[in-house]
Amino acid sequence: MAVLIELKDVKVYFEESAGFMKKRIVKALDGVSLKVDEGENVLVVGESGSGKTTMGRVIVGLQRPTSGLALFRGRDIYKLKGNDYKEYRRSVQWVPQDPYSSLDPYMTVREILAAPLRRWGIRDVDSTAAELLSMVGLKPPELFLGKYPHQLSGGQRQRVAIARALAVNPKLIVADEPVTMIDSSLRVSILDVIAELKRKIGLALVFITHDLAIARYLAHKSGGGRAVVMYKGVIVEEGDLEEIIRRPSSPYTQLLIKSVPDIRRPLSL
């Protein structure tokens, strides 16, 4: 399988003020190396503050590393120009945690989906938008095309955010806690949509969550997945998710597993 994304010893340090004239360095990522192959399913797990979102942002081009390399098909993401940059921006899409703040409140769903379609020269904007909505389970599409984000439920908004990411036919979607802010009753259906898309389109997925049960559900539904366990800015364990849950080698993974009641029991959310 071809390597889509590679991080090589990526460090991201932030400077924080710690009172008068004092500065503190926060090591959000402290030497992360990772490969994501085409079509691969990568589940990034770890406690709050372990660097998951920062890693996602490095991959999607939103956070320049302090040091180290972030590569798209072997080339430095932060040095891409012209058509290469366009190709990367199209291939790698981001689904952020909060679908409300990421969707323009003054745009209808049709406009939200039309913008990327037009940008990438995709014709038949209306029929493609309708098709995208069906793909994420917003049916019938006519019911949703004219609506504004505030007229949608949290779950529906997140589906629109996923549809928007899919609009440009990406190779990789990086989803940052896409169901965390959604009612638990709606989580399963959104995870099912993501898993189905993953299988159907052969998309690569980097799915970020602090919740091992969610990671496990998604991996199960999409035919397996590789877990990347983070702790304080480093990857402490990596491998097949089920295998890791059965035999965690890092104490931090063990803690994560303990925080989910009944994780070893048959699947439920």
Ligand X SMILES: Nc1ncnc2c1ncn2[C@@H]1O[C@H](COP(=O)(O)OP(=O)(O)OP(=O)(O)O)[C@@H](O)[C@H]1O
Phi-psi region of 233 (alpha: psi -120 to 50; beta: other; left: phi over 0): left
Residues 182-241 that bind ligand X (CB under 6 A): 210
Give residue 57's Cα distance to chain centre: 9
Between 46 and 85, how does the x/- string for binding to ligand X read (CB under 6 A)?
A: x-xxxxxxx-------------------------------
Q: Which is nearer to ligand X, 172 or 230 (CB)?
A: 230
CB of 257 to ligand X, least distance (A): 17
Q: Which is nearer to Mg ion, 135 or 191 (CB)?
A: 191
Between 21 and 60, how does the x/- string for binding to Mg ion read (CB under 5 A)?
A: --------------------------------x-------
Strand (E) or helix (H) holding 89 = helix 82-91
* CA atoms within 13 Å, Cβ hemisphere of 217: 18
Residue with tokens 């406690």: 47
Are 214 and 183 within 8 A, CB to CB? Answer: no
Q: What are the C-alpha distances in Å from 256 to residues 125, 216, 237, 253, 264?
A: 44, 12, 12, 5, 12
Q: Could you tell me whether strands 23-37 and 234-240 are parallel, antiparallel, or unpaired per DSSP bridges?
A: unpaired
If one asks whether residue 156 binds ligand X (CB under 6 A), the answer comes out as no
Among 9, 16, 104, 183, binds ligand X (CB under 6 A): 16
* Distance of alpha carbon 259 from alpha carbon 177, whole angstroms: 17
Q: Which is nearer to Mg ion, 53 or 63 (CB)?
A: 53
Are 32 and 238 within 8 A, CB to CB? Answer: no
Contacted entry of ligand X, Mg ion, none for residue 50, CB cut-off 5 to 8 Å set by kind: ligand X
Q: Which is nearer to ligand X, 16 or 76 (CB)?
A: 16
If one asks whether residue 159 binds ligand X (CB under 6 A), the answer comes out as no
CB of 63 to ligand X, least distance (A): 8
**Interface contacts to ligand X, rule CB under 6 A:** 14, 16, 26, 28, 46, 48-54, 210
